[in-house]
């Protein structure tokens, strides 16, 4: 689901780093090849990414703002699978609490997001 946080973060990334492209709400199966690890097939088939950042048409980072549901056991396991799928495809993944962009200074937020974008 595209939340206000996703929209706000996308605008920030597009304003701050012009060399990257962004896209909201993409199915993981449209981003990555089918994993050999059968334990990741379900998240690959049914999962999606809130905000994907691309460099030269290649996904390099997934940003996932969210709320308390990420602390629930089922969601936590799905998040771990998503992290692993990203890792196998040389893409970083960052989950952050909703509203974080408003609670950090611009410098702190830029440093946090930038550390994930420049791991490529």
Number of domains in the chain: 1
- Judge contact between 20 and 9, C-beta under 8 A: no
Query: pTM here?
Result: 0.89
Give a yes or no: residue 29 inside a domain: yes
Give a yes or no: residue 71 inside a domain: yes
Give a yes or no: residue 75 inside a domain: yes
Give a yes or no: residue 60 inside a domain: yes
Per-residue b or e along 53-74, where b marks 16 or more CB atoms closer than 10 Å to that residue's CB: bbeeeebbbbbbbbeeebeeee
Give a yes or no: residue 78 inside a domain: yes
Give a yes or no: residue 120 inside a domain: no
Secondary structure letter of residue 98 according to DSSP: T
Domain span at 45: 4-115
Give a yes or no: residue 28 inside a domain: yes
- Judge contact between 111 and 105, C-beta under 8 A: no
Give a yes or no: residue 12 inside a domain: yes
Going by pLDDT thresholds of 50, 70 and 90, the confidence category of residue 69 is low
Helices (H), 2-56: 4-16, 28-31, 41-46
Write out pLDDT tens, residues 1-27.
788 999 999 999 999 999 999 999 999
């Amino acid at each position: 689901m595209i939340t206000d946080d996703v929209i706000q973060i996308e605008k920030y990334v597009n304003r701050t780093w012009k060399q990257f492209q962004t896209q909201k709400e993409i199915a993981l199966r449209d981003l990555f090849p089918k994993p050999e690890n059968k334990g990741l097939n379900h998240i690959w088939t049914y999962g999606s990414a809130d905000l994907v950042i691309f460099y030269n048409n290649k996904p390099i980072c997934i940003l996932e703002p969210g709320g308390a549901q990420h602390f629930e056991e089922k969601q936590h396991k799905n998040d771990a699978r998503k992290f692993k799928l990203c890792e196998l495809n040389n893409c970083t993944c960052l989950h952050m609490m909703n509203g974080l962009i408003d609670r950090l200074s611009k410098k702190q937020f830029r440093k946090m997001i930038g550390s994930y974008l420049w791991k490529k």
